[in-house]
Amino acid sequence: MASETGIGASVKRKEDARFITGAGNYTDDINAPGQTHAVFVRSPYARARINGIDTAAAAATDGVVAVFTGADLAADEIGDLPCGWLVKSKDGSDMVAPPHPPIATEAVNYVGEPYAVVIGETLEAARNGAEAVDADFEERPAVVDLATAASADQIHESVPNNQAYDWELGDKAATDAAFDGAHHVATVDIVNNRLIPNAIEPRAALGEYDAAAGTYTLHTTSQNPHLERLVLAAFVNVAPEARLRVISPDVGGGFGSKIFVYAEETAVIWAAGKVRRPVKWRAERSESFLADAHGRDHVTTAQLALDQNGKFLGLRVKTKANMGAYLSTFASSVPTYLYGTLMAGQYTTPAIYVEVQSLYTNTAPVDAYRGAGRPEATYVVERCVETAAREMGIDPAEIRRRNFIQPGDFPYDTPVALTYDTGDYEASLDKALGHIDYAGFGARRAASESAGKKRGIGFSCYIEACGLAPSQVAISLGAGVGLFEVGEVRVDVTGSVTVVTGSHSHGQSHETTFAQIISDKLGVPFENVTVLHGDTGRSDYALGTYGSRSLAVGGSAIIKATDKIIAKGKKIAAHILEAQEDQMDFADGTFTVVDSNQSITFGEVAFAAYVPQNYPLEELEPGLSEKAFYDPPNFTYPAGAHICEVEVDPDTGVVDIVDFVAVDDFGHVVNPMIVEGQVHGGLAQGIGQALLEHGVYDDAGQLLSGSYMDYTMPRADDLPSFTVDTTVTPCTHNPLGVKGCGEAGAIGSTAAVMNAVTDALGVASVPMPATPETVWRAASARGSSAEGAERGE
């Protein structure tokens, strides 16, 4: 049984039966009797003063229940949307965050920012009402360009130079000294393009107020309902925590964008209390483009110093990060502690210095998006390494090999604050080289050349820190919350098991993976395990899902609770079998007295716990239900080698990914099929960034890539059939020896693709996304100044 459904088995997903038959229960599927509908009225200007909002005509529109502006929320003492991570500047000063009212009051600062919400009997009525809201805007010049934002018009009265913070990490003097003694310095100028998340299910919310009980219930598309509840209660003042329940039912993808506490969900739950009726909202895709937190958007210059043998001596990174118009929930941490700390990569680079200036612009807020800081870091490091290898004439695989941290070096302290616990980077690279047939690349390139095509190969040996996070480390670095997780294992009277996790699944398959763990550890049939998640009314306070933490942190909490179950089970079994507790053994669902044939099944013990006839009630409480909180002692460090092979048509600029190999070390794997699916999805997103996706604003701050006509999502025919493989160095500090697989694909792949594209063209750099036009220009400009390329060669 355990072998087929336990740890290590590719069990089919429990979730899929309902998903593929259309029986999923998403927020928009839930309707409350008497519900009303909310439509948000959004700014058409990137920056404007609001001189007045006339809601009279809207309020008089047929079927309109209420019209609210920011002033109504303010009158109810509804607070600003906070940022939960305090980052300090070089000079020790706190970051500067502008006030962020859920509904704009005095000014709008990005296109799509809501300035009123109309509640209607029907969606149509609410829309009609929204059409009738008349605002008097005084347009002001928009600040859009990140590179010049610090010297542009000041957007917020309280934020000089449009700067959130100017942060640093690492040893500047040591890094400067390393450069002074360098044999070669490789320099790259990089724009990490803005991405728009595009989960398949748009954000949605259903707010309900129970006047009799004085309680609020918010169904919403959150990745972490407890965080949503905490912020709405403690900062936004919607209701005390104990009178607010947040439920995230089935959620169709998040990728980070559903971590954050947004204006719309906030307004919906508040409005439900005002109109005393349920209020429903579901974003249209157009709204998702405008008002979901975007990702990436960095401008960076980086330099790698090397000795004559290609050994890395020092790395210097200077980045400007776009925060958008306001500081979203975790925005400040993304280009700092999730970025600067990863600059060692898989290498022994002894001296690293990173500076990050985060700036406000009149664009949608930018926050964590799959990988969050780590794709940007990998892109910097791996573009530098590849550039250095080419400039010094060293094989790109070889230069990485010469600089890898070796298996005997762990635990390894990097110069940028992390301690890697384990890894074997060369093992992953070797396996990947074998899969791609690196030895045969020359012949394949020659064959492409003779067909008029250009073939290139690109490497990315990435590392990431995930399994967020050791609470005390995170809090000492500015996190406003602990980052542990809770797990509860409730053994039912009949021996079936209900697991409650604070972690949330919106594609990760917790109902399957966590059931496998329980089935494996307790010997309970897989189908007798039910996993519940996504409800503050069901689980204790927990932190939800982000940063590839569900298994490493949430799974570990479940293991801890399971250990408690087994320990109590041994006491019960020992009593029934008239043996000593320390003589009891538990395996495959059976408690056995050591060196005897006396045994009792897990089911019998569970029954005894709830029908305590032959039971030591004077010493032991009845019942068999345990809960555990798990706070990880360290991050986990998945790492791997991604190799991409492309063929470029120089006449059209079309890039064809002919092969893509990803060899990842995720530690032990519970369900290989699910892990492979996670890697596939991540690769698609990373390749999407490299070749297709680009969030673009015009000079006036209008979003030009605001629909699928202009924002290109990767599709199946844009992608090759991936070769996905793993190596295993178990994580040393969690009970399952697991790392995290959710983000790795998006973290490693982008650099591999761009290294391959530049290799094919023989140019130093091509801007992302490498669309046919961009590639064609770079190919045509080779040898002269590359118009449209970031750095002319």
Partner 1 sequence: MEQAGESRIAQPRDRVWRALNDPEVLARCLDGCKSMTPVGDGEYEAEVGAKVGPVKATFKAAIALNDVVEPESYRLDVEVKGGAAGFAKGSALVNLEDVTGEDGDETLLTYEINGNIGGKLAQIGSRLVDAAARKTAARFFERFKVDFDTA
* CA-wise closest residue to 377 among 633, 720, 97, 639: 639
Q: Give the contacts of 792 (CB within 8 A, at least 6 positions apart).
A: 781, 784, 785, 786
Q: How far apart are CA 43 and CA 107, in angstroms?
A: 10
Q: CB under 8 A: which stretch of 40-48, 194-202, 212-220, 562-570 binds partner 1?
A: 40-48
Structural contact between residues 788 and 768, judged by C-beta atoms closer than 8 angstroms = no
Q: Which of 25, 406, 580, 707 binds partner 1 (CB under 8 A)?
A: 707
- Tell me the C-alpha distance between 781 and 790, whole Å: 12
- Shortest distance (Å) from residue 47 CB to partner 1: 11
Q: Which stretch binds partner 1 (CB under 8 A): 206-214, 246-254, 282-290, 385-393?
A: 282-290
Question: Would you say 377 and 339 are in contact if contact means Cβ atoms under 8 Å apart?
Answer: yes
Amino acid at 575: H
Q: For residues 196 and 251, which CB has a smaller minimum distance to partner 1 in the complex?
A: 196
Q: Which residues pair with 170 in a beta bridge?
A: 353
- The span from the CA of 469 to the CA of 251, in Å, is 23
Q: Which CB, 396 or 706, lies closer to partner 1?
A: 706
Tell me the three state secondary structure of residue 670.
coil
Q: How far is the CB of 702 from partner 1 (least distance, A)?
A: 4
DSSP label of 366:
B
Q: How far is the CB of 649 from partner 1 (least distance, A)?
A: 25
Q: Report the amino acid identity of residue 295.
A: G
Give dist(CA 350, CA 274) in Å, integer.
Answer: 59
Closest approach of partner 1 to the CB of residue 74, in Å: 24
> 202 or 638: whose CB is closer to partner 1?
202
Query: If we measure between CA atoms, which residue out of 270, 213, 264, 209 comes closest to residue 238?
Result: 270
Residues of this chain, 394-423, that bind partner 1 according to CB under 8 A:
none
Binders of partner 1 among residues 119 to 148 (CB under 8 A) are 127, 130-134
| Residue choice 35, 530, 702, 712 for contact with partner 1 (CB under 8 A) | 702
The contact pattern for partner 1, residues 354-393, with x = CB under 8 A and - = no contact, is: ----------------------------------------
Asked if 155 is part of the footprint of partner 1 (rule: CB under 8 A), the reply reads no
Nearest residue to 521 via CA among 580, 462, 586, 456? 586
Smallest gap from Cβ 40 to partner 1, in A, equals 10
Give which of 559, 630, 682, 538 is closest to 249, Cα–Cα.
538
Three-state DSSP string of 78-134: CCCCCCCECCECCCCCECCCCCCCCCCCCEECCCCCEEEEEEECCHHHHHHHHHHCE
Which of 9, 14, 38, 42 touches partner 1 by CB under 8 A?
A: 42
Question: In the complex with partner 1, which residue's Cβ is closer, 44 or 160?
Answer: 44
Contacts 24+ apart (CB under 8 A), 147-150: 147/299, 147/320, 149/320, 149/322, 149/359, 149/360, 149/361, 150/320, 150/357, 150/359
Residue 289 beta carbon to partner 1: minimum distance, rounded to whole angstroms: 7
Compute the least distance from the CB of residue 127 to partner 1, in Å. Answer: 8
Q: Which is nearer to partner 1, 129 or 507 (CB)?
A: 129
The interface with partner 1 within residues 207-246 (CB under 8 A) comprises none
Q: How far is the CB of 331 from partner 1 (least distance, A)?
A: 23
Q: Interacting stretch for partner 1, rule CB under 8 A, among 166-174, 330-338, 542-550, 695-703?
A: 695-703
Please, what is the minimum distance in Å from the beta carbon of residue 704 to partner 1? 5
Q: How far is the CB of 266 from partner 1 (least distance, A)?
A: 21
Does 261 bind partner 1 (CB under 8 A)? Our answer is no
Query: Which of 27, 36, 43, 303 forms a contact with partner 1 (CB under 8 A)?
Result: 43
Q: In degrees to the nearest 10, what's the CA dihedral of 513, 519, 524, 527? A: 30
Piece of 203-211, 361-369, 404-412, 698-706 that binds partner 1 (CB under 8 A): 698-706
Whole-angstrom distance, CA of residue 70 vs CA of residue 135: 13
Distance, C-alpha 235 to centroid of its chain: 23
Residue closer to partner 1 by CB (options 132, 405) is 132
Quick one: which segment of 232-240, 348-356, 668-676, 702-710 binds partner 1 (CB under 8 A)?
A: 702-710
- Residue closer to partner 1 (CB basis): 63 or 730: 63
Q: Does 559 bind partner 1 (CB under 8 A)?
A: no
Least distance in angstroms from the C-beta of 711 to partner 1 = 10
Cα 470 to Cα 346, 406, 418, 535, 674: the distances in Å are: 21, 25, 12, 24, 26
* Cα separation, 722 vs 278, whole angstroms: 46
Size of the site for partner 1 (CB under 8 A): 25
Minimum distance from CB of 123 to partner 1 (Å)? 13
Residue in 709, 716, 717, 785 binding partner 1, rule: CB under 8 A = 709
Interface residue with partner 1 among 227, 531, 608, 703 (CB under 8 A) is 703
Query: Which one-letter amino acid corresponds to residue 734?
Result: N
Q: CB under 8 A: which stretch of 80-88, 449-457, 704-712, 751-759 binds partner 1?
A: 704-712
Q: How far is CA 608 from the centre of its chain?
A: 44
| Identity of the residue, 46 or 786, whose beta carbon is nearer to partner 1 in the bound complex | 46
Determine if 698 is a binding residue for partner 1 (CB under 8 A): yes
112/487 with CB nearer partner 1: 112
Q: What is the DSSP string of 210-232?
A: ETTTTEEEEEE--S-HHHHHHHH
What are the φ and ψ backbone dihedral angles of 498, each rounded to 5 degrees?
Answer: -110, 125
Name the minimum Å distance from CB 652 to partner 1: 21
> What residues numbered 103-122 form the site for partner 1, per CB under 8 A?
111
The 8-class DSSP code of residue 201 comes to: S
* Positions that interact with partner 1 (CB under 8 A): 41-46, 111, 127, 130-134, 286, 289-290, 698, 700, 702-704, 706-707, 709-710
